[in-house]
């Protein structure tokens, strides 16, 4: 089981040093780095990393926005990792604090991404309801 890190910055003027140090501290044996906008779909180093992942390996990022630009992107990525039997870990941010154990992305069953999406939808619904109530008052 290998921990493979992915670090990305958007411009040449930015440094990957902090991400690389954090990924090393998280136990990554290989770190794939690139300087490219997250909006680009042809991220060659990310494609290399995903091709390299095997069952039981873990893809590690420092923050969620280094990997995905949207919820749809993230869910597609998690689905691809689950298909390979690989796991996913974030070193910083909400999921990083609550998901310390690196485990396969489908450890909660194949419906896990749907449950994540359902929680996001519930929060959005609550926000919309609150906005409607405050506009009536």
- From CA 54, how far away is CA 125, in angstroms rounded? 38
Residue 72 domain-assigned?
Answer: yes
What amino acid positions are annotated as catalytic residues? 10
**Within 13 Å and on the Cβ side, how many CA atoms surround 20?**
11
Residue 29 domain-assigned?
Answer: yes
Neighbours of 46 (CB within 10 A): 22
Answering whether pTM is above 0.85, one says: no
Q: For 3-46, how does the pLDDT look when each residue is reduced to its tens digit (9 = 90+)?
A: 999 998 888 888 889 999 999 999 999 999 998 776 777 889 99
Domain that holds residue 29: 3-106
The number of distinct structural domains making up the chain is: 1
**Phi-psi map region of 129: left, alpha, beta (phi>0 left; psi -120 to 50 alpha):** alpha
What is the CATH number for 67? Answer: 3.40.50.1390
């Amino acid at each position: 089981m290998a921990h493979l890190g992915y670090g990305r910055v958007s411009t040449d003027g930015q440094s990957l040093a902090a991400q690389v140090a954090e990924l090393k501290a998280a136990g990554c044996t290989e770190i794939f780095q690139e300087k490219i906008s997250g909006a680009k779909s042809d991220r060659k180093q990310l494609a290399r990393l995903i091709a390299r992942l095997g069952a039981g390996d873990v893809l590690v990022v420092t923050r969620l926005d280094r990997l995905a630009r949207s919820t749809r992107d993230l869910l597609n990525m998690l689905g691809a990792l689950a298909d390979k039997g690989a796991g996913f870990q974030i070193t910083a941010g909400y999921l990083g604090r609550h998901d310390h154990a690196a485990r396969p992305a489908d450890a909660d069953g194949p419906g896990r991404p749907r449950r994540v999406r359902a929680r996001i939808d519930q929060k959005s619904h609550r926000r919309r309801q609150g906005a409607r109530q405050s506009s009536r008052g």
